């Protein structure tokens, strides 16, 4: 559990997050939420993690709304050159770009405080589907999640299509984190996948529920062991 000093630090960060939320500075609020969550997670303070997940989810929801309301879908097959001006909107990265490029672009846009939703598609499968991929930080290696969707009926995807693809990706992430795992491991799994698909509402809710279940169980299951999924591959 988080010690007295750690609890105070977490609470102070969440006060700053609340102030930023009131000011509708969602990037600043998210930054404080993530710092607070990292502290609470290091102390295995699952109850605080559950509480932090709510404003974090709200930050990401509002940022996603701003991205979609911008009305721009940007399809990229190469990473933007250094210094390129990047506007708000929904971004779809296509081959030869891979999942890690999507995370790199999302991080860049976040640092610049540009509202954006970023998705990556891999090469079309033999069945004619688009694999949509997300990459999270992971421990000790990045986690990878994929969903297979039919290509858009129109020549280019629109925001509605990409929102639906993002929903499919988040649903796939939830399935990859089975609730049969020990409660504390389930929290860690869901957190890594939420970082891979940060704009998915049900994934955020599943994380909150898992945190509360872990807090109630009081179990420390020790280190996790999970398989390897290569984020550099299609």
pLDDT digits (tens, 9 = 90+) for 51-109: 999 999 999 999 999 999 999 999 999 999 998 999 999 999 999 999 999 999 999 99
Please report whether residue 22 resides in a domain: yes
Three-state DSSP state, 206: helix
Q: How many CB atoms lie within 10 A of CB 108?
A: 16
Please report whether residue 209 resides in a domain: yes
- Of 82, 24, 21, 23, the closest CA to residue 56 belongs to 21
Please report whether residue 104 resides in a domain: yes
Burial 8-43 (b: 16+ CB within 10 A, else e): ebbeebbebbeebbeeeebbbbbbbbbbbbebbbeb
* Structural domains in the chain (count): 1
Please report whether residue 232 resides in a domain: no
- Of 158, 219, 215, 194, the closest CA to residue 33 belongs to 194
Confidence of residue 206 (pLDDT cuts 50, 70, 90): very high
Please report whether residue 161 resides in a domain: yes
Hunting for tokens 């509202």 — which residue is that? Answer: 115
Please report whether residue 175 resides in a domain: yes
Residue 145, beta-bridge partner list: 134
pLDDT at 230: 61
- E strands, 25-152, where? 73-76, 89-93, 116-121, 130-136, 143-149
Please report whether residue 181 resides in a domain: yes
Please report whether residue 231 resides in a domain: no
- Indicate the pTM of the whole model: 0.89
For helices 201-217 and 183-196, give the axis angle rounded to 10 degrees: 160
Range of the domain at 43: 4-217
């Amino acid at each position: 559990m988080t010690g007295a000093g750690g609890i105070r630090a977490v609470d102070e960060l969440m006060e700053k997050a609340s102030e930023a939320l009131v000011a509708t500075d969602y990037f600043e609020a998210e930054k404080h939420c993530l710092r607070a969550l990292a502290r609470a997670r290091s102390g295995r303070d699952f109850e605080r993690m559950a509480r932090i997940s709510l404003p974090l989810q709200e930050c990401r929801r509002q940022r996603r709304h701003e991205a979609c309301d911008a009305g721009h879908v940007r399809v990229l097959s190469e990473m933007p050159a250094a210094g390129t001006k990047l506007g708000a909107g929904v971004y779809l990265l296509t081959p030869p770009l891979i999942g890690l490029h999507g995370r790199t672009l999302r991080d860049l846009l976040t640092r610049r405080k540009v509202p954006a939703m970023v998705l990556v598609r891999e090469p079309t499968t033999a069945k004619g589907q688009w694999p949509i991929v997300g990459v999270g930080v992971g421990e000790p290696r990045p986690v990878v999640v994929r969903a297979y969707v039919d290509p858009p009926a129109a020549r280019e995807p629109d925001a509605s299509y990409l929102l639906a693809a993002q929903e499919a990706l988040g649903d796939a992430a939830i399935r990859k984190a089975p609730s049969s795992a020990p409660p504390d491991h389930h929290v860690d799994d869901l957190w890594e996948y939420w970082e891979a698909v940060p704009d998915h509402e049900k994934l955020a809710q599943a994380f909150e529920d898992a945190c509360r279940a872990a807090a109630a169980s009081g179990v420390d299951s020790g280190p996790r062991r999970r398989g390897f999924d290569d984020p550099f591959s299609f």
